[in-house]
Amino acid sequence: MNTGAEGVETALKIARKWGHEKKNILKDELILMTQSFEKIIKEKGDKIAGFLFKPVQGEAGVVIPPEGYLKIVRELCTKYNVLMIADEVQ
């Protein structure tokens, strides 16, 4: 892989295949978060293969998540059997 975009594309392909094989997710669906991650994962966790996010936002300045955020994301992903995919390429 030469670019971050290729890395993300590969991660999504892996998540799709894993979701089909491990969670029997049959169709492609993208869930855009307009609510809290915790609410969405509790409602749809059985149909979510992966959670793709940028741990540190760097496009419009540097935005670092609050302390404990990544720990909570990891715990929720583990609890609901969801792949945690961090896009850390700038």
pLDDT in tens, 3-57: 778 888 999 999 999 999 999 987 777 787 777 888 999 999 999 999 998 888 7
- This prediction has a pTM of 0.82
Torsion angle of C-alpha atoms 39, 61, 86, 12, degrees rounded to 10: 90
Q: How confident is the model at residue 89 (pLDDT cuts 50, 70, 90)?
A: low
pLDDT at position 50, please? 93
pLDDT at position 1, please? 58
pLDDT at position 90, please? 60
pLDDT at position 56, please? 85
Torsion angle of C-alpha atoms 78, 33, 37, 65, degrees rounded to 10: 100
* Nearest-angstrom CA–CA distance, 46 and 61: 35
Q: Which token pair is 51? A: 């959670």
